[in-house]
Structure 1
């Protein structure tokens, strides 16, 4: 049983931060309850009982149906929720999106050597060029770096105009986009720019453009559940414009690992073939499937009375507004976007990571609250660095920090701000 609710019943007013002897340290940045390996395995045992899982899946249960296999039942449940014909559970999102690109690149019997994506795509930043080494494909990078906002560092999400310019560039050379580009990836939301979302009218225009040009439209939906709150749409309507969709189970849904790739029946038949070829068709996926299914039930279906993603976003919006209203905090940190679009946001600090971590330790020692757990340096080639920022962090609201009172965030951040040496630039 979590002691966080009890802690905040005992310490209802975080304004008494300087004098309250907290006997348990909290982390304001941790969205999910932290579990030991032993606790996680115990949870899996209980979830097997809750979900009626009484036997192992074997090599993906490809030959079974939803009545015979818990894995196929889970795949069908998610496919139905997203309005897709079929779904395939996979060990990782990297594998899932690589398989999606391979299938789209060979559609119609011809090889297309490229895929298009935003310049902050996970495939470009975090996969060691797997698209080239494994898929023999090259990216058509659609950058929005030249469209920095007035604040000097905020980058916009992918828009229709960006896509139109990129795809029409092939026409200048006498080629059709469909001869070169297999698929366009649209990430909902864009994680690397603070959870910003491509406007819905743009998504519809992008869909029409892709259909006209013979390019498949793929959704990187690693945080699709979070994005649904911004669009105010159910998942089926949200993914309707896309030919294929990838979702993750270990991010907002808190699973151990795992992903799912969704599309029509033919697409998923090919996906299962490629899953085998990639070595992802493990003898059993039970721990990951049960964990993912449990997270889906708990955090999307709110089985245990959990906060909805809309409520998490609302809480983050309140916290950010209150932090910006506090002069000390506002002179220490800047947020991107200015108002959260999902239950995640990026914060930028003028102090270095070393300075920030020392200040975090002081506040934690004094009050038993860890304001941030992970702080990263700002890349030197980025627009944020040019604006004078030296550190950044990501803040997502989940089950754990969602139970912490708003006032605690403000009080702890106010204490942290007083410990940081570098403040907002006054020469601009």
Structure 2
């Protein structure tokens, strides 16, 4: 018997975090494949210690520390930089995750102040940073910048920005939730990318498709201080080994797939733009992440997508994004295993159907 809030089953999805490959049974089988009867739950040989050492090495840092959320990890890193410099202000892109999605926890919990740098619809530039005109504890870069379509600064420009910030006495922090995708564009070792920054946060559940969690990597002294704040904020959770095992599985199986994901993202975006039913941006995508801009308003698109899911079992997005123009909207595509099941031609046909249904509602 169905319940009033029952939703149609998702059989296929472009959305990276659709539950198709993330059911409890699938995840638990993956964890069992990584353990034997001698696997400890904690200690220097436990899964969490293995994960922290592996990521410290991969990112070229002295030490790394698990956090239950990236929200906690990044706010702790910025607080440490601010306390060391006696300055409460950090700068970042106007659409930084810390300000857009975290209810200004940096201010409410840690007493920090955010200085937006640049235009919210384009990448932060060196000129934007030069124009700040006040002392900074740190500058945060998100690579890639998710909310403007997964865009990245060119490598030489990024290096110049970082060098200028350091010359001014501020720390450099990387929101590297999607560093795994960014590396497919820069094509540099992870430790070279991370080496630009004093502190680096990486996500364990986005591209790596882990259960949850994050890691902060830096020099040993900073990580020791971060561990104190993790305890104060209630983040030193015991028995987190299942989260570590899931992340280790992602490092082994999904990280090598990132170049293929980017290639497929470029192919899908090219097909969309050649057809003209929608606009894929950036053109071409720099990473496996891009946005699809639609000639229809958000509410109509949501209703059309719900009807397509009910009829076909196909999900096109996790969330629709509104636009200043009420007759337009957009959604994010991150190409991981789910999206690899779709050919570019199939995506175009689905978008044609989506737009046609949405426009008919006007």
On whether the aligned pair clears a TM of 0.5, the verdict is yes
Matches within 5 A, 1:161-176: 161-166=127-132, 169-170=133-134
Q: Does 2:3 align with 1:37?
A: no
Secondary structure at 1:116 match in 2: strand
Structure-2 separation of matches of 1:365 and 1:272: 47
Equivalent position to 1:188, from 118, 121, 143: 143
Matches of 1:361 and 1:218, distance apart in 2: 39
Residues 295 and 422 (structure 1), Cα distance of their counterparts in 2 relative to 1, 3 Å cut:
same
How much does 1:348 deviate? 2.1
Aligned to 2:177: 222
Residue 416 (structure 1) aligned to one of 336, 354, 357: 354
1:309 to 241, 245, 258: 258
Question: For residues 265-311 of structure 1, what are the alpha-carbon distances to aligned partners after superposition, in whole Å with 9 as ceiling and x for unaligned?
Answer: 111111111111111111221121111111121111x3xxxxx2121
Structure 1 residue 47 displacement after superposition: 2.8
Give me the CA root mean square deviation.
2.3
- Which runs of 5 or more residues in structure 2 are unaligned? 1-8
Alignment counterpart, residue 318 of structure 2, candidates 374, 380, 386: 374
What's the offset of the Cα at 1:24? 8.7
SS at match of 1:73: helix
**Cα offset, 1:314, TM superposition:** 1.1
Q: 2:39 aligns with which of 35, 51, 54?
A: 54
TM-score normalised by L of structure 2: 0.90
Q: Report how many aligned residue pairs link the two structures.
A: 352
Q: 1:351, 1:53 → 2: CA distance?
A: 56
In 2, the alpha carbon distance for the partners of 1:351 and 1:345 equals 18
Contact 2:289 2:332 in 1 (8 A): yes
Query: Which SS does the other structure have where 1:269 is aligned?
Result: helix
Q: Deviations over 1:178-224 (max 9, x none)?
A: xxx21110110101111001221222112221221110000000100
- The yes-or-no answer on 1:254 pairing with 2:209 is yes
Q: Counterparts of 1:374 and 1:31 in 2: how far apart (Å)?
A: 8
Q: Structure 1 259/350 Cα, relative in aligned 2: closer, same or farther at 3 Å? A: same
2: CA distance, partners of 1:228 / 1:55: 33
The alpha-carbon deviation at position 405 of structure 1 amounts to 2.6
Q: 1:71-126: CA deviations, max 9, x gaps?
A: 2222111111111111111111001001101211122xx52111111100011111
Distance 1:24 1:422, change over 3 A: closer
Q: Does 1:70 align with 2:70?
A: no
Q: Which residue of 2 aligns with 1:174?
A: none
Query: Deviation per CA, 1:29-75, whole angstroms, max 9, x where unpaired?
Result: 346643333443343233334xx871212xxx5xxx4xx33322221
| Distance in 1 between residues matched to 2:288 and 2:310, nearest whole Å | 28
Q: Is the 8 A contact 1:31 1:399 kept in 2?
A: no
CA distance in structure 2 between the partners assigned to 1:122 and 1:338 by the alignment? 23
- Asked if residue 133 in structure 1 is aligned to residue 108 in structure 2, the reply is yes
C-alpha contact (below 8 Å) 1:229/1:310 kept by paired residues? yes
How far did residue 420 of structure 1 move?
3.2
Alignment of 1:109-120 (within 5 A): 110-120=85-95
User: Residue 371 of structure 1 contacts residue 413 of structure 1 at CA under 8 Å; is this kept in 2?
Assistant: no
Q: Which has more radius of gyration? A: 1
Is 1:28 the counterpart of 2:5 in the alignment?
no
1:191 and 1:53 mapped to 2: Cα distance? 41
* TM-score, length-scaled by structure 1: 0.77
Residue 160 of structure 1 is matched in structure 2 by 126
Q: Report what 1:198 is aligned to.
A: 153
Alpha carbons of structure 1 residues 364 and 129: separation in structure 2 relative to 1, 3 Å:
closer
The secondary structure found in structure 1 opposite 2:191 is helix
Q: Is the 8 A contact 1:226 1:309 kept in 2?
A: yes
* The 10-residue stretch of structure 1 (410-419 or 77-86) with the greater mean CA deviation from structure 2: 410-419
Structure 1 runs not aligned, ≥5 long: 1-22, 146-154, 171-176, 303-307, 379-383, 424-428
What is aligned with 1:393? 331
Question: Alpha carbons of 1:374 and 1:400: their partners in 2 closer, same or farther (altered >3 Å)?
Answer: closer
Are 1:99 and 2:48 counterparts? no
